[in-house]
Amino acid sequence: MSMQLRIGVALAFGLWACARQAVKGDAPPAPAADSGTQYVTPKIGIVSPNPAQPPQERDSGTRYVTPNQVPGEQSGAESPDDPRALDALAASLREEKKLDQSEAVSRRVLSRHPRDAEAHKNLALIEAARGRDWLARISLANARKLDPQDPAIPNALGILAMRRNEPAEARELFAEAVKLDPTDAVGWANLGAVALAYRDYAAAREAYANAARLDPARVETHLGLAWALEGARQPAAALAEYDKVLELRPGQGDALFGRALALKADNQLAAAKQAFEQLAAQAGGSRLAEARAQIASIDLRMRSASRSPTGAAAGAAGESK
């Protein structure tokens, strides 16, 4: 899988999960994202659109709900004026892909509480989901002015920067997120992803190690750490991370392939050949071709080692690990 495709797959996950494969350690995983955060560059001084203005685009199959028609109420009825409850309702509707209804609730909040940062963040997530990043940037800019200590905001901005293919800006934003909250596993994982994009394996290893310590159940974090370790020429440590991925998600394709590569890099040739043979038995397309090529390469190395007394001794030592 190409680097560009891998980054695209990762970012698609990151936008809704906030806020990621590697063959030969050459592809960064996608930035992650925590639910409730969003992606956009701030434009200071720009205010959000008129809360009473209905969106021009409608969700397929979803009726637009006006600010006075919050879901669950009769038309025209007033809802409790509790911004926290309404923010939670808006987030729930957004996660259900009811974007127009979620927007209506957030705009209701902002009509009464214009300094509610959560409502601005929810609007940003909605616009990012619709592909209208410039509107998302406006909402995130407002949220950032209202709550400059929220690490989710620079994290979201970093994801949008990656979507614009601006990794330098993204790296600064993810670094800001973890500075604001050093316990933010998502921010550390995203910082690791950008470091991998720069082939900065030491920085990627450190960032992913922090993310894995804070959130040990996240598969993508262990996978990213394995790629960073592989890039840093630490195949034994990478092998351990691939094993963790497979414990969490048995049969994960990138981990199976990465594990086989790590075995080969660690000179465990017989085990690596067996792993690639198992992959070839179930793989298809380019992955099948890669597995077969690796098997041929291992066979060549094993034959060469068997013809050389020194090589045979080294091969035997590697197989005894």
Q: Which CATH number belongs to the domain containing residue 215 in this structure?
A: 1.25.40.10
Q: What is the pLDDT of residue 235?
A: 94
Q: What is the pLDDT of residue 310?
A: 59
The single residue listed with the structure tokens 């209208």 is 132
Of 169, 229, 165, 173, give the one whose Cα is nearest residue 38: 173
* pLDDT at site 211: 96
Tokens of 154: 């620079």
Residue 321 lies in a domain: no
Structural domain total, the chain: 1
- Please report the pLDDT score of residue 68 as a whole number: 39
Cβ neighbours of residue 175 under 8 Å, at least 6 residues apart? 191
Residue 166 lies in a domain: yes
Residue 163 lies inside a defined structural domain of this protein: yes
pLDDT at position 28: 44
Q: Answer whether residue 180 is part of any domain.
A: yes
Regions of the chain where pLDDT drops below 70:
1-80, 309-321
Q: Is residue 316 included in any domain, yes or no?
A: no
In a domain, 117, yes or no: yes
Instruction: Please tell me the distance from the alpha carbon of residue 23 to that of residue 275, in angstroms, as a whole number.
Output: 14
Q: Is residue 305 part of a domain?
A: no
- Let me know if residue 315 belongs to a domain: no
Half-sphere exposure of 72 (CA within 13 A, CB side): 10
Q: Quick one: which of 43, 20, 26, 21 has its CA closest to 191?
A: 20
The CA angle 28-43-106, to the nearest 5 degrees, is 90
Q: CA-to-CA distance for 253 and 244, rounded, in angstroms?
A: 13
- Name the 3-class secondary structure at 27: coil
Look up the domain containing 15 and give its range: 3-235
Q: How far is CA 57 from CA 53, 81, 132, 249, in A?
A: 12, 27, 10, 38
